[in-house]
Each structure stands twice: as structure tokens, then as C-alpha cells.
Amino acid sequence: MIYIELLLSFIQIGLFSIGGGYAAMPLIEHQAVNVNGWLTMQEFADIITISEMTPGPITINSATFVGIRVAGLPGALVATAGCILPSSIIVTILAFIYYRFKGIDAVSSVLKGLRPAIIAMIATAGLSLMNMALFNGDISNGISITALVIFVIAFIILKKWKTNPIFVMLGAGLMNLIFGLV
Amino acid sequence: MGLSHFLFFNYNQLMKEKLRKYLTLFLSTLEISAFTFGGGFVIIPLMRKKFVFKLKMIDDEEMLDLTAIAQSAPGAIAVNASILVGYKIGGVLGALISILATVIPPFVIISVISHFYIAFRDNRYVSLVMGGMIAGVAAVVADLVISMAWDILKRKRLVEILMLIISFILLEFMNLNIIALIFIAGAVGYADYEISRRWGHDLH
């Protein structure tokens, strides 16, 4: 039955994608394109493009997309439920363990050791975002002056007024639209 | 106006406060999820602004711990981070509420778009707005990284500063796997603790 196939495929994707969206992509391709033939390679490329243009994790986006194409809205619900099921269980258990044991010195020392590494991880992810925003994904494309101006203005506004980042993002989108049209 | 009235009143107050907390959690997570563009970890700066600085429901260091857990567990980082924040604020029910709030925006948006996704993908206005938003997101993440790195530098602990620099080099230039880095950094943290415990001083 298609619902069970969707569920099982996306449980596997949810379970084995460790380390974010880039780890999930090959798994989604394997399940949706190669094993089950739910998407063509072109459709898979499209869903990645659309994921970059819309909010939300790529696994949720592709689960919804694949589910709806294969079995309509119920299919989308089943596939999405499948891909969040493993982490819902595992991460809730981890949350329980964290709050139970974080008071122990040895545990908190390990967590303290992780903090600089986590900041470095966010920094590298931030750099690839800047690469995407300012150089259109590759430094050899040259810098986009419009994007740079928007980036600098957004950064100053955030630093100076501690504005809600959502307004800054919306403003940045609007600015680029206006620049693009005039 | 007896004791029972008093108890009932208190119970009502308590329920109201609980409901308000869950509602705040749901609406905040919904709002954040609707704006998590450009990769799941973008949810971290948004959550930090909302839950650490605005609502003051989580402290800053705890948010970093939660990020570490979200990053090392299987599944989408945005969903994992929401589960952890939800659990902190409202236990297992809180976790369920925030999972729901995280999934609803992308689910609804993709369900709608899937019917005309080619037109959406090729639309000039859409791609202009999205291009600008990515530049905005990059600024949000840069702001977060600078403020967090500054916190580390301010503390002037050699181990932490070195770990920040080395981790960055390993990830950016050596393509080290994130899980491997988490193990290494955890081990360094533990060694640092053992050394200062046994010899009674910090590594400065």
C-alpha cells in the first residue's frame, strides 16, 4: 500500500539524515528517485530549488512534495509524519536526558567543550549562506553589489536596533524586489 | 467565598497561565518556522532572539547546548531544535506542540506550491524577493556568529578560543565531519575539566 511505502521510506530518511539538509539530500534522492520512482531526476532538482526558495527543512519540504504527488494530501501527511517520527522520539529522549543530567560536572564540562565547536559550525554555515547570497553560489561569479548593499544595511540594522530578524529578512526581500524592478 | 472558591480560583489561574505558555510556544514557533529560509540551522538565531532575549524562557548557554544536541541527533535541525525548546518550555506536550508548529508552515506552503511549482520556480518577482531574503538571512547569521564569538573572546579562556579557531579551520578547510567534531570538542571539554579538577587550576 502506497501510504505504508511512503511512511517507511520517509522514516528511513528521517532516521539516517544526521547533520542537516545536505546529509538528507542523497537519502531523499535514493528513496524517491532510485528505489520507488516517485520523482524524476528533474523533479528532484526542482524540489531542491523550491526548498531553497521556501521556508522549512528540506526533508519536510520534500516529504510534503513527494507525498502530494504520489497520493495527494493524505500522502503528504503520511510522508511528513514519517520523516519527523524518528527525531520526535530520539530528540525527546535526549531532551529528557539533558535536563536530567546537565547538573553533573562531567556532563556540563562536555557540553561546555561543545560550545565553541557549535559556534564554528554556525560560522561555516553562515559563510556558505553569504557565498550563496553575495556570489550566487560561486566566488568566480563575481560579487553582486545589490546583495552586498542589502547585506550591509541588514547587518547594521540588526546590530544597532536589535530588530526582529523576521522584519529584517522581509525588508531585505522587498529591497531586492524594488532594486530589481527599477 | 470559602476555601473551595479560593482553590478553584487558583486552579483556574494556573490553567490560564499554562494555556498562555503553550499558546506563546505555538505561535512563536509557527512564526519562526515560517521564516527559516536558507537551511535549518537558520532557526537557531531566530530562536535565540525570541526565546532567549525576548521571552527570556531559555538562557543563552542552554541554547548552545540545545543546538549541539539538535545538530548531532538524526533528522532536520529545525525540527530537532523545536523539540528541545518545546520540551524545555512545556515538557513532552510542549515538544509535541512545537513539532506541530514547525511543520505547519512548510507543509502548507509546499502543498499549495506543488500544484504550480514550475511557475513559482521561474517567477521573476519571487526569485527577486527570495534573493534579497537570502542576503537578509546571511546578515542575521553573521550577526549571531559575531555576538557568540565575541562572548567566547571576552571570557579570555585559552582553551575555548583555541577550540573556536581550530573547529572553524577543521570544518571550513579540512571538511571534517560534524559528528567527528562534536566528539573531539566534547572530549576536549571533558579533559579540560579533569585537568583543572586534578591540578586545581584552569588552563589559561
pLDDT tens for the 182 residues of chain A, in order:
899 999 999 999 999 887 666 678 888 989 999 999 999 988 888 888 888 788 888 889 999 999 999 999 999 999 999 999 999 999 999 999 999 998 888 888 988 898 899 899 889 888 888 888 898 878 888 888 999 999 999 999 999 988 888 889 999 999 999 999 88
Residue at grid coordinates 542552554: B62
- Percent pLDDT > 70 in chain B is 93
Contact: A154, B140; criterion CB under 8 Å: yes
Name the residue among B47, B187, B168, B192 with its Cα closest to residue A123: B168
Same structural domain for residues A46 and A123? no
First to last CA, chain A: 53
Chain B residues inside the 8 Å CB shell of A84: 75-76, 79, 99, 103
- At residue B49's C-alpha, the angle toward residues A136 and A87, to 5°, is 75
Distances B132 to A46, B36, B45, B82, B104 between C-alpha atoms, Å: 20, 14, 18, 26, 24
- The verdict on A23 and A96 lying in the same domain is yes
Q: Which of A65, A85, A101 is the last residue of a domain?
A: A101
Kindly state whether residues A110 and A165 are assigned to the same domain. yes
Predicted confidence (pLDDT) per residue in B103-125, tens digit: 999 999 999 998 888 888 889 99
Tell me, yes or no, whether A109 and A51 share the same domain.
no
Measured CA to CA in angstroms, residue A170 lies from A141, B136, B140 at distances of 25, 8, 12
What residue numbers bound the domain in which A150 lies?
105-181
Together in a domain, A137 and A62: no
A126 and A95 in a common domain? no
Question: A–B: how many Cβ contacts below 8 A?
Answer: 361
Task: Answer yes or no: do A13 and A86 share one domain.
Answer: yes
Contacts of A180 in chain B (CB under 8 A): 124, 128, 131
As a whole number of angstroms, the distance between CA B73 and CA B55 comes to 26
Q: Check if the beta carbon of residue B107 is closer than 8 Å to that of residue B83.
A: no
User: Do A96 and A73 have their domain in common?
Assistant: yes
Statement to judge: residues A33 and A56 lie in one domain: yes
Per the structure, the count of domains in chain A is 2
Which of A101, A135, A168 represents a domain boundary (last residue)? A101
DSSP B40: G
Percent composition of chain A: helix, strand, coil (DSSP 3-state, to 5): 85, 0, 15
Of A101, A120, A144, which closes a domain?
Answer: A101
Q: A6 and A88: one domain? A: yes
Shared domain check, A138 and A79: no
Cell numbers for A36, please give them.
520507488
CB atoms A118 and B140 under 8 Å: no
Confidence tier at B201 by pLDDT (50, 70, 90): low
A54 and A40 within one domain: yes
Instruction: Compute the Cα dihedral for B125, B127, B131, B137 and give only its sign.
Output: positive
